[in-house]
Amino acid sequence: MKLCADWIYSRFVDEFSAAHHEAAHAVVGVSLGLPLLDEGLHLDTVDGGITFNLHRKPGDPSNTPADAEERKRSIVMIKAGYRANLKLFPGTPATVASDDRREEVALLNEMYPPGGQEWVSADTRQKEDAQSLVDKHWEAIRALAQAVLAKPVVPRSQQSFQRWSSPYPNEKCINSHEIAAILRQFGLNAIVRKESEGIYLSPDIHTDTGSSS
């Protein structure tokens, strides 16, 4: 299994929270070597947002060491969104990240017996890793959140409605090349790809190939 195109869509109580949640997905993903898709990050200007990147999706039972590492990095990236919300507002309910949690659980279930000690230990460890990376890259997360919040409100295109499920008619968005430019200021080098380029092999995981396809 390789990293596949996917997106993290979340609903929140306000646009400010959504911006930081999605920025955390993007920044922590980049720090872990997960490529951004060129669509970047979008907010629906009400209470939702979406980050387009390449990460491991549930559904492939392969469980080589490379498969496990892809899952672990993807889970940490997914968890980072809610950790950012808690950093902003410690009382943020877990329900704001319920879709994220379902994906985390599905990925964990592919590695460990559900609910067993290994499963629980891995879940805790990856939560701690996510918190550590959110703390480490907090200034980059804040800068990206502020950048997308400052974008103009524009009507959503037909393609936007096809790509993500928010019911609202307007959005703010920042493409991945802009994200990469912001993150370079914080020493983070983003990989930006088009979905049409297909699956991606992280060269530091798939050392037998050292290439993407």
Q: What is the extent of the structural domain holding 189?
A: 4-197
User: What's the CATH code of the domain at 177?
Assistant: 1.20.58.760
Query: Cβ(138)–Cβ(87) under 8 Å?
Result: yes
Contacts of 111 (CB under 8 A, 6+ apart): 63, 68, 71, 119, 122
With a threshold of 0.85, does the pTM exceed it?
yes
User: For residue range 164-181, what is the model confidence (pLDDT) as tens digits?
Assistant: 888 899 999 999 999 999
Does any domain span residue 213?
Answer: no
User: 6 - beta bridge partners?
Assistant: 53
Domains: count for the chain: 1
Q: What is the band of 213 on the pLDDT scale with cuts at 50, 70, 90? A: very low
Does any domain span residue 207?
Answer: no
